[in-house]
Amino acid sequence: MTNPKVVPVRPDFSDTDIDTILASVRTSLETGQLAQGEQVAAFEAETARFTGARHAVAVASGTAALVCALRATAGEHGDGEVLVPANSFYSSAAAPLLAGLRVRLVDVEADTLAPSSRTLEQAVTDATAGVLLVHMGGIITPEVTAIADWCTRRGLWLLEDCAHAHGSRLGGRHAGTFGVAGAFSFFATKVITSAEGGMVTTDDDELAARVRLYRNLGKPEEWRSHHTVLGENARMSELHAAVGRAQLRRLDEFLKIRDRLAQRYTAGLYGLPHVRPVLPQHAPASWYKYVVALDPAVDRAALRARMREAGVQLGGEIYEMPLDAQPVFAGRIPVGRFPVAEDLCAHHIALPLHTRMGEDDADAVLAALRAALDTSVER
Ligand SMILES: Cc1ncc(COP(=O)(O)O)c(C=O)c1O
């Protein structure tokens, strides 16, 4: 099959970005300052400034951000249960388990992709220690502050998984500033990337200090071999931080382009049968994914194949199966019935969305979708 004309994701580095990154990398290589140096410190300070969080702590991945934040929040011998949305990515459930906590899955709402406060209220037990809220596709649930307040009243912590939500804001507040901490990923497919990397944001001085401890082998002093907690090496390198900084500088520009493409999709999908876009009710949104829920009558595999024949490669779903169906979690996470999450997993697609697309590409996606829908609905 020929290469697709429209691909689902593509990192965006301008010539200027590449020159800036290469100059920083050259300095790191020449000086030998490869870890925990000025690039990492600057990336942290710039992320804190961008999000409005008091602290930002750079780590090696989004998974490491979750694990370090959970250890720092729940303690080294994490105890208790975390409520996690059933339709999230592996790491949202794996990180609590890796941090010694237990996971209980909860269902989500079809229009926010997040659990409602009512669902959380029904799921909470005496064993519940906290809630992991995932801003799926970059959508912040309008209930986020109600959920944060409810957690505080209940003596629970709220951790935000912001892997999809760089730049998403609700009421002027950034993702990663509603709960006790936020965990970002800078993997290559994300809205901005450091190739691999992650960041923990928090307003809590002590929590930030503990995240630093857990990311750096449990050493209170950076370069002294004196270890006080069972930490891991989750540090971000100077080279990765240089890449991340160049991307962060362009995040506002990326958000505008993503929004323009998303609005074009929304206008183009208006009135189209069998599809229902899942739209954020706030701006800006990261539009990490443009999620389109499908009628169950639509054969998704056939739709994907037909669009691919038309030169459009759809993005990966968020996600294809509920977490309790993943083989690794058998016996580790209680199975359950999550009707909305199950339905979403089985019946949605993610349209291509990245900053190297033009509006003509968005139109090509819409045309391919319309044509593919005509032949992918079981009658
Ligand atoms: C919702 C979510 N949480 C956590 C992660 C983990 O991030 P990383 O791949 O950087 O470890 C990802 C993505 O990759 C994600 O999509």
Mean pLDDT of successive 10-residue segments in the chain (379 residues)?
90 98 98 96 98 98 98 85 98 97 98 98 97 98 98 97 98 98 98 98 98 96 92 97 98 98 98 97 97 97 97 95 98 97 98 97 98 89
* 134 within ligand 1 shell (Cβ under 6 A): yes
Q: How far does residue 122's CA lie from ligand 1's centre (Å)?
A: 27
For the Cβ of 89 lying below 6 angstroms from any atom of ligand 1, the answer is yes
Q: Is the CB of 194 under 6 A from ligand 1?
A: no
H-assigned helices in 33-75: 38-51, 62-74
Q: Provide the sign of the torsion angle of the four alpha carbons 217, 202, 47, 97, taken in this order.
A: positive
3-state secondary structure of 275: strand
The distance of Cα 308 from the centroid of its chain, to the nearest Å, equals: 26
Instruction: Check residue 379 and give its pLDDT.
Output: 72
In short, whether 161's Cβ falls inside 6 Å of ligand 1 is yes
Residue in 216, 244, 241, 243 with CA at minimum distance from that of residue 231: 216
Which ranges constitute the DSSP H helices of the chain?
15-31, 38-51, 62-74, 90-98, 117-123, 144-154, 205-215, 238-248, 251-269, 300-309, 339-346, 359-376
The per-residue pLDDT for 160 is 98
| Whole-number pLDDT of residue 76 | 72
Report pLDDT for 303: 97
Residue boundaries of the structural domains of the chain: 15-248, 251-376
Mutate to test the pocket of ligand 1, among 67, 91, 139, 168 (most ligand atoms within 8 A of CB): 91
CATH of domain 15-248: 3.40.640.10
Report CA(190)–ligand 1 centroid distance (Å). 9
Distance 329 CA to ligand 1 centre (A): 17
Whole-angstrom Cα Rg for the chain: 21
Q: How far is the CA of 189 from the centre of ligand 1 (A)?
A: 10
Q: Is 193 in the pocket of ligand 1 (CB under 6 A)?
A: no
Q: Is 61 in the pocket of ligand 1 (CB under 6 A)?
A: yes
Q: Separation of 23 CA from ligand 1 center, angstroms?
A: 29
Ligand 1 within 6 A of 62 CB?
Answer: yes
The reply to whether 15-248 and 251-376 are identical in fold is no
> Is any ligand 1 atom within 6 A of the Cβ of residue 91?
yes
Residue 185 Cα, ligand 1 centroid: separation in angstroms?
6
Quick one: fold of 251-376? Aspartate Aminotransferase, domain 1 (3.90.1150)
> 211 CB less than 6 Å from ligand 1?
no
